[in-house]
Structure 1
Amino acid sequence: MMVFLGICACGGLGAVARFVLTVSIKQWWKHPFPLPTFIINIIATFCAGVAAGAYAQLAVTHPTYLLFVTGFLGGFSTFSTAINEIVTLARKGKTPLAAAYLAATMLVPLLCVTGGWLLAGALL
């Protein structure tokens, strides 16, 4: 029960962190490319890779892994928002930007997770 409650609390913290970071970036980013969501998902996937690598190396316990990945990163990352932003860009006639964002949203997180795994493996 404590892990469940911890995941709920960490998810809430992740959502608050996402909100604060989004608002902070939007204060200076005025271009159509959805940079706040992209940065958040890059951070989240890299951290997920580090966490998965650490868990695979038995450096963290399963409950700790769940609190961070399922809880905090689950609340922090925002794949559904990214997909909605892609559709919105396309509907506004910004098809090349939507296609570029789609490609970046699929490819860059894969590289980030891989980099996180590699970093965890090198450090642990």
Structure 2
Amino acid sequence: MPTSFILVCLCGGLGAVARFILDTSIQRWWRRAFPLSTLIITAVGAFCVGLAAAAFMNQAVDMRTYLLFVIGFFGGFSTFSTAVNQITSLVRGRRQWSAMAYLAVTILASLACIALGWWLGSLAH
């Protein structure tokens, strides 16, 4: 049990570093108010969680591996709390339409990416 805890923590740290690198890279060329980097990271994370869930459900990976990736790496990588903060910032900046559009796209893209990941993961089995 203590080993799993430490590994989940380490994977979470790696996910946070991966998020930082990807976020910084996207922001270098995307200099608009719409928070595209967070949307992309959220969608990628959702897709990968869908793949991992399908792999676990199809018994391609065990519970420990599933937890390392989903709770650990993608827990650190995913950015839903950042997305909510950016929606709040858009509202405070009087960009209500952008905030509503971003909220809708974030939720719909996340659901679509989880479904796509699950579907592709199910095909592999």
TM-score (norm: length of structure 2): 0.97
User: Structure 1 vs Structure 2: percent identity of aligned residues?
Assistant: 52
The residue that corresponds to 2:106 in the other structure is: 105
Q: In structure 1, the residue corresponding to 2:29 is in which secondary structure?
A: coil
1:37 is aligned to 2:35: no
List gaps (5 residues or longer) in structure 2. none
List gaps (5 residues or longer) in structure 1. none
**Could you tell me how far 1:107 is from its partner in structure 2?**
1.0
For 1:117 and 1:111, locate their aligned partners in 2 and report how far apart those are by CA, in whole Å.
10
The residue that corresponds to 1:11 in the other structure is: 12
The residue that corresponds to 2:123 in the other structure is: 122
Q: What is the letter of the counterpart of residue 84 of structure 2?
A: I
For 1:118 and 1:9, locate their aligned partners in 2 and report how far apart those are by CA, in whole Å.
29
Q: What is the letter of the counterpart of residue 24 of structure 2?
A: V
For 2:79 and 2:98, locate their aligned partners in 1 and report how far apart those are by CA, in whole Å.
19
1:39-118 correspondence to structure 2 within 5 Å: 39-118=40-119
For 1:107 and 1:61, locate their aligned partners in 2 and report how far apart those are by CA, in whole Å.
29
**Could you tell me how far 1:91 is from its partner in structure 2?**
1.1
Q: RMSD of the TM alignment (CA)?
A: 0.6
**Could you tell me how far 1:90 is from its partner in structure 2?**
1.0
CA-to-partner distance for each residue in 1:72-122, whole Å, 9 max, x for gaps? 000000111100100110111111111100101111100110111100111
The residue that corresponds to 2:24 in the other structure is: 23
Q: In structure 2, the residue corresponding to 1:33 is in which secondary structure?
A: coil
Number of residue pairs matched?
124
CA-to-partner distance for each residue in 1:46-70, whole Å, 9 max, x for gaps? 0000000000000001000000000
For 1:12 and 1:54, locate their aligned partners in 2 and report how far apart those are by CA, in whole Å.
23
For 1:7 and 1:99, locate their aligned partners in 2 and report how far apart those are by CA, in whole Å.
34
For 1:28 and 1:78, locate their aligned partners in 2 and report how far apart those are by CA, in whole Å.
20
Tell which deviates more after alignment, 54-63 or 90-99: 90-99
For 1:27 and 1:78, locate their aligned partners in 2 and report how far apart those are by CA, in whole Å.
18
